[in-house]
């Protein structure tokens, strides 16, 4: 049996479910995951339907596409309309609606030069092939993605590719967790911490969860047994009146994270306030390029600003991302808003909460 398959073993999962039920002792466990991969894993594996009724799964702001703010999409559209600009982006950003429901897909259909890439380095290749144009890579994502973007910027500088720049709208997970805990309506009792982001961060940046809020945080993997073990550790902490940040995914996550990747981040980026869709401005929750990299910074070089834009009418992504509302409670869910006709970003991305509910839940 391969290692990952061992974490899908039904017998092991059954034993963990029994351990979870024992630890709950009738208590609730209202936990939030903040990772699109966890969202999909919990639905796809069928775990949701097996969890005790006293466990509530909340799917928070863990999908990079879902948290991309309307104003940020407006800035993408502005860039897409400029002469001599080629936008390079991951494909899932293409259909994210901005003001008036417009998306990069619409812009592309109207002639804008928007290229889908699978890595930031692909954007450098496009830049090298089109010296007459300015290639702007749209930098979205969390601490996991940002180091590869930092490495790409250093490569651009090393190879003197001067027609390349990045619009950095990267976001940081820990400040968002603090904002959610400060919102009394969220009622989060524990966090399933993101396995991928934690490979970079390690445990220390989450220490405030237990220290300041007495909320357990467990770094979890993505197989059913990984997730169940993480839930057991949360429930056992609550049973014991304890709160700690622990690593239940040691085969991938080192408690110290990845110092080299963090050094790369610090070399190129600095923290800044950021806009999160449905949540608003969160202090020091984003990454912008340091002034030494202004020549590679699309915001500075092309004078990009984020305009004030009204939220998408009727879309409740903000409430969904804060755990205040389950997707099926949105009046548009499954009616006006489906994966084929998404109104909000949580239905666009395959890792979005609304899309996962739509695809895997009984309606
Ligand atoms: Fe937004 Fe659609 Fe989700 Fe409602 S169902 S919150 S409109 S994405």
pLDDT (0 to 100) of residue 312: 75
Domain boundaries, the chain: 66-172+257-302
Ligand 1 atom nearest to CA at 331? 4
**Gap from CA of 217 to ligand 1 centroid (Å):** 28
pLDDT (0 to 100) of residue 6: 78
**Gap from CA of 64 to ligand 1 centroid (Å):** 16
The DSSP line for 131-199 is: TTSEEEEEE---TTTHHHHHHHHHHHHHTT-TTEEEEE-EE-HHHHHHHHHH-TTT---EEEE-HHHHH
pLDDT (0 to 100) of residue 362: 60
pLDDT (0 to 100) of residue 293: 97
pLDDT (0 to 100) of residue 23: 97
- For ligand 1, say whether the CB of 320 is within 6 Å of any of its atoms: yes
Ligand 1 atom nearest to CA at 334? 5
- The conformational region for residue 315 under phi > 0 = left, psi -120 to 50 = alpha, else beta, is beta
The ipTM (two decimal places) reads: 0.99
Ligand 1 atom nearest to CA at 337? 2
Q: What is the β-pairing status of strands 280-289 and 269-276?
A: antiparallel
Tokens representing residue 19 in the block: 């351990």
Ligand 1 atom nearest to CA at 347? 8
pTM attached to this predicted model: 0.93
Q: Give the closest residue (by CA) to ligand 1 atom 7.
A: 315
Q: How far apart are CA 16 and CA 22, in angstroms?
A: 10
- Assign domain 66-172+257-302 to its CATH architecture: 3-Layer(aba) Sandwich (3.40)
- For ligand 1, say whether the CB of 315 is within 6 Å of any of its atoms: yes
- For ligand 1, say whether the CB of 325 is within 6 Å of any of its atoms: no
- For ligand 1, say whether the CB of 357 is within 6 Å of any of its atoms: no
pLDDT (0 to 100) of residue 99: 84
**Gap from CA of 133 to ligand 1 centroid (Å):** 37
pLDDT (0 to 100) of residue 309: 85
Ligand 1 atom nearest to CA at 353? 3
**Gap from CA of 363 to ligand 1 centroid (Å):** 15
- For ligand 1, say whether the CB of 330 is within 6 Å of any of its atoms: yes
Query: Residues of the chain whose pLDDT is less than 50?
Result: none
- For ligand 1, say whether the CB of 343 is within 6 Å of any of its atoms: yes
Helices (H), ranges, the chain:
3-6, 10-24, 36-44, 47-50, 70-80, 104-109, 120-129, 146-158, 173-182, 195-201, 207-213, 224-239, 259-268, 298-301, 317-321, 345-348, 353-360
pLDDT (0 to 100) of residue 27: 93
- DSSP 8-state symbol, 238: H
**Gap from CA of 198 to ligand 1 centroid (Å):** 28
Q: Give the closest residue (by CA) to ligand 1 atom 5.
A: 333
pLDDT (0 to 100) of residue 9: 87
- For ligand 1, say whether the CB of 337 is within 6 Å of any of its atoms: yes
In order of 87, 164, 273, 299, 356, the CA distances from 293 in angstroms are 19, 12, 18, 11, 38
pLDDT (0 to 100) of residue 1: 52
Q: Are 111 and 82 in contact (CB under 8 A)?
A: no
Q: How far apart are CA 207 and CA 312, in angstroms?
A: 35
- For ligand 1, say whether the CB of 317 is within 6 Å of any of its atoms: yes
**Gap from CA of 94 to ligand 1 centroid (Å):** 17
pLDDT (0 to 100) of residue 286: 98
Mutate to test the pocket of ligand 1, among 315, 322, 349, 357 (most ligand atoms within 8 A of CB): 315
**Gap from CA of 334 to ligand 1 centroid (Å):** 9
- CB atoms inside a 10 Å sphere around CB 1: 8
Report the candidate in 291, 295, 269 with the shortest Cα–Cα distance to residue 150: 269
Residue pointed to by tokens 């929750």: 285
């Amino acid at each position: 049996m391969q290692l990952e398959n061992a974490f899908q073993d039904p017998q092991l999962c059954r034993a963990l479910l029994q351990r979870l039920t024992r630890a709950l002792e009738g208590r609730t466990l209202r936990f939030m995951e903040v990772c699109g991969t966890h969202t999909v894993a919990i639905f796809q594996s069928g775990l949701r339907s097996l969890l005790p009724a006293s466990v509530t799964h909340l799917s928070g702001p863990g999908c990079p596409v879902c948290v991309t703010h309307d104003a940020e999409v407006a800035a993408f559209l502005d860039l897409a309309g400029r002469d001599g600009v080629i936008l390079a982006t991951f494909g899932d950003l293409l259909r994210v609606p901005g003001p008036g429901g417009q998306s990069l897909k619409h812009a592309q259909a109207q002639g804008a030069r928007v290229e889908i890439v699978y890595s930031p380095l692909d954007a450098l290749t496009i830049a090298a092939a089109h010296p007459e144009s300015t290639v702007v890579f749209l930098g979205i994502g969390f601490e996991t993605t940002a180091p590869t973007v930092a490495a790409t910027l250093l490569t651009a500088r090393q190879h003197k590719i001067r027609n390349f720049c990045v619009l950095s709208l990267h976001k940081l997970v820990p400040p968002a967790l603090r904002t959610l805990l400060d919102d009394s309506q969220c009622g989060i009792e524990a966090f399933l911490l993101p396995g991928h982001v934690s490979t970079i961060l390690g445990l220390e940046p989450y220490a405030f969860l237990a220290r300041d809020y007495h909320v357990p945080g467990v770094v979890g993997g993505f197989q059913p047994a990984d997730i169940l073990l993480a839930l057991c550790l949360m429930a056992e902490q609550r049973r014991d009146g304890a709160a700690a940040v622990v690593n239940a995914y040691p085969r991938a996550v080192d408690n110290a994270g990845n110092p080299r990747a963090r050094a790369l981040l610090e070399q190129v980026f600095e923290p800044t306030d950021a806009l999160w869709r449905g949540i608003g401005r969160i202090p020091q929750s984003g990454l912008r390029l340091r002034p030494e990299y202004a020549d590679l910074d699309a915001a500075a070089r092309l004078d990009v600003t984020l305009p004030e834009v009204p939220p998408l009418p009727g879309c409740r992504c903000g409430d969904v991302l804060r755990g205040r509302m389950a997707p099926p409670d949105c009046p548009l869910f499954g009616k006006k808003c489906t994966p084929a006709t998404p109104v909000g970003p949580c239905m666009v991305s395959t890792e979005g909460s609304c899309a996962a509910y739509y695809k895997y839940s009984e309606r």
